[in-house]
Structure 1
Amino acid sequence: MASNPPGICCLVAVKHEGVPTGKLIDFHGIETYTAGDATSKKIVVIVTDIFGHTFVNTQLIADAFAAQGYYVLVPDILKGDPIPYMSQEELAKYNLPGWLSRHTVEITEPIVTGVIANIKADFAPTSIGAVGYCFGAKYVVRLLGDKAITAGAIAHPSFITEEEVEKVTLPIIISAAEVDRVFPAENRAKTEAILVKNKATYEITVYAGTTHGFACRVDPTIAVQKYAKERAFSSQVAFFAEHLK
């Protein structure tokens, strides 16, 4: 695999402070958090991690992308079944395999591809960027492989196969944690080797002092982690500015 299956590290999160400024809408039968100007011809879709579209951290990121001029959509790809925010004691007892069995590729991918198709039909955008965190990163890679979007950004990805990366030739930026059993150094090297072979436009950055989930669930009171989260976001913004026209 280019990245390994999710583990307990995927359940660790610190809620961020802030009041989201977007709103929840019904987008073709899928509850979706939206932010920004709906008339924008440049659209960003956030394909969430296992905490889903109502998690405040993700909504604040959506607002930050919207501030860059994008219309942002964060669809409920989890069918109303996100992982709850839990204490450390609860984390150890949570049945992650059971949850994953309810969110297989066969179940989740039609939701993601349907959202992209409806965005194209409703808005006729000039470009679509997709951002995938952890669980959602797999689907951004698959969208890139199908050439369904213009460019993609993924952070600390999980469940991605080498075969999925083999199909990627479109622009992709990858934000990786220094310590990550789901996307360790050997998997990063495999991913980069494939992208080089494909002559894809890509960036891979590894952030020191970070662990899995840093780009959206980091403890902002830890300076090195806060820096990494903010730097990963600004790099995604710069990458999309170059490739989403």
Structure 2
Amino acid sequence: MASNPPGECCTKGSLHEGTPKGKNQTIFGLDTYQVGQEHGNDRIIVILTDIMGHNNINGKLIADELSNYKYQVLIPDIILNDPIKGDLSEWLSKHSAEVTAPIVDPFLSSIKKDLKPKFFGAIGYCFGAKYLVQNLTKDGPLDAGAIAHPSFVSIEEVKAIAKPIIISAAEIDPIFTVELRHQTEAELIKLGARFQINLYSGVSHSFANRGDVSDPIVKYAKERALVEQISFFSQY
């Protein structure tokens, strides 16, 4: 594995403060938070969420910030309105790859086919990272991807990456461990992939979208991860 299955650390985190400026509507069959549509379809970013789902305010605020850079940003409901509330193992049994990939893949393919963006990127947090990586293959719809503290990604999926990828990693992470991070890095080097890995000290799993921003170390890492993702995407 390039990253372990989600654990209890994936269920924890802080809510951020702000007022989302986008709105929810049905897009390609999924309830989707949309912001930045005034920029048109030339530059689109999709956020594939963690187990908290598409209506978590943190993700919406991240989408709003991305839209300030003239991206249209979409957060589809890839967990069918079922954010984690109780037992993690029970939740995961209802949201296996066999269930989730057929939700994600047609959504991304429809954007590529019907909206025809000149640049099509995606950001995957924890649970969502696996499905982003699966769409970074040679024939996948994405032009580039960003993942933060990924879970459930297999080394076979890493080996199939053929598009640029940026990875934001936490120093303290039982899911994307030091060993698995190094294994992922070694494989990307072997592939000759275009990649970037940023390791942030003093932070834990979920820092990039649900970190406690009252902690200045976490706040820096969270904000810097987004800046690096924007900079990475701007090349393409």
Query: Structure 2 length as normaliser, TM-score?
Result: 0.97
For 1:182, which of 161, 167, 175 is the aligned residue?
A: 175
SS at match of 1:79: coil
Aligned to 2:88: 96
Q: What is the Cα deviation at residue 168 of structure 1? A: 0.7
> Match of 1:128, SS?
strand
2:41–2:116 contact (8 Å) kept in structure 1? no
**Runs of 4 or more above 6 Å deviation:** none
Q: Extract unaligned runs of 5+ from structure 2.
A: none
Separation in structure 2 between the aligned mates of residue 211 and residue 165 of structure 1, nearest angstrom? 22
Aligned pairs for 1:1-245 (under 5 A) are 1-37=1-37, 39-84=40-85, 94-145=86-137, 146-243=139-236
Q: Secondary structure at the match of 2:151?
A: coil
Residue type at the aligned position of 1:144: L
Q: Tell me by how many angstroms 1:114 deviates.
A: 1.0
Structure 1: runs of 5 or more not aligned: 85-93
Larger displacement relative to structure 2 (206-215 or 37-46): 37-46
Structure 1, residues 117-150: CA drift from partner, whole Å, max 9, x if none?
2212331111210100000000111110243200
Equivalent position amino acid for 2:20 in 1 = P
Measured on the aligned residues, the alpha-carbon RMSD in Å equals 0.9
TM-score (norm 1): 0.93
For residues 3 and 201 of structure 1, the distance between their equivalents in structure 2, rounded to whole angstroms, comes to: 20
Corresponding residue pairs, total: 234
Give the C-alpha shift of residue 172 in structure 1.
Answer: 0.2
Q: Secondary structure at the match of 1:153?
A: strand
What amino acid is aligned across from residue 123 of structure 1 in structure 2?
L
